[in-house]
Structure 1
Amino acid sequence: MTRTERTEPSTTAGEQAMLTGWLEFHRETLELKCAGLTDEQLRERSVPPSGISLLGLVRHMAEVERGWFRDVFAGEDVRTLYCEEDRDGDFHVTDQDTWSDARTAWQTEIARARELVAGRSLDDVAAGTTRSGRAFNLRWIMTHMIEEYARHNGHADLVRERIDGATGE
């Protein structure tokens, strides 16, 4: 991997800064797992029989950021990026899908998420709900996002190692 540094989360911050720090750490980790690879390598489904690719993971996290922060937390009526006709369309990459496009979509969703939570309390309840109708506060959403990234970064570790042998945190 070409980039080897991430912003380490504080070990003494308050709750909101701690959650934000860990979320940013995991966002940076996924980007590190993709660094230095070609579009072809990023599309590679390298842990059969799974269809997971690094590009698919980035597209998935763009959807997750969009869904939890824009749709649920802010109550924005937004369509999915990749999953309108295929529930797993974020993972189903084609030869036409590129890192540039996926990264742009992902970073756009991260930037919007940051805007939406800036100055908000962890106790603030989301304006929207999930399909089940459940309400969530920002604390739950932030914690869930850390869990979501951590799980998929584990997948990314395995995929990256199969592609070029690179390992790391």
Structure 2
Amino acid sequence: MRFAAVLLAVATTALGYTITTPNQSAGWTNQGAQPVVWSRVASDRENITIVLTNSNAALMPTPQVLAALVDGSLGNTTVNPPSAGWPSPGTGYILNFVTEVTNLNAILAQSPPFEIELSTVVPTSTRTGTVTGASNTGASGSTPTDNTVPGNNGNGALSSFGAPVALVAAALVPALFA
């Protein structure tokens, strides 16, 4: 009887979701979308909800749902920052895969503890075209030398030069009809 219980316990841990990234050696930064990688078996639940937690309430007072109804067969995804941004840099963060957003205690898998580090990467413009007839002078009064439209800083806001969206749009619309 004990052998059957041990065999069942081993089989249960061998099957199921296993979160491989993030982990102790491959954590996240506090800027932009972050990778999540996992493995699963065909009999695992099809959809998962990804939740970020930390037992240190000073870093993260409540768990944060990062993505719901994720297709588990994909094996990887990227998660965007919560609306308030990533929590403070620190250690002890854990990802939980749960069955649904209404039951965060129904954990299917848990990542190893990982660190969210302060990002040292400066976002760059994703646009390669140029804007003509407009000045992209930023708050500091400097004018960028490449004259490109500012890029997205990862939270939905235009960054880099502080140019109002209307100014950029006004410069682009005549160029479309020329």
User: Where is the helix percentage greater, Structure 1 or Structure 2?
Assistant: 1
User: Where is the strand percentage greater, Structure 1 or Structure 2?
Assistant: 2
When normalised by structure 2's length, the TM-score is 0.22
When normalised by structure 1's length, the TM-score is 0.23
Q: Which has the higher contact order (CA 8 A, sep 6+)?
A: 1
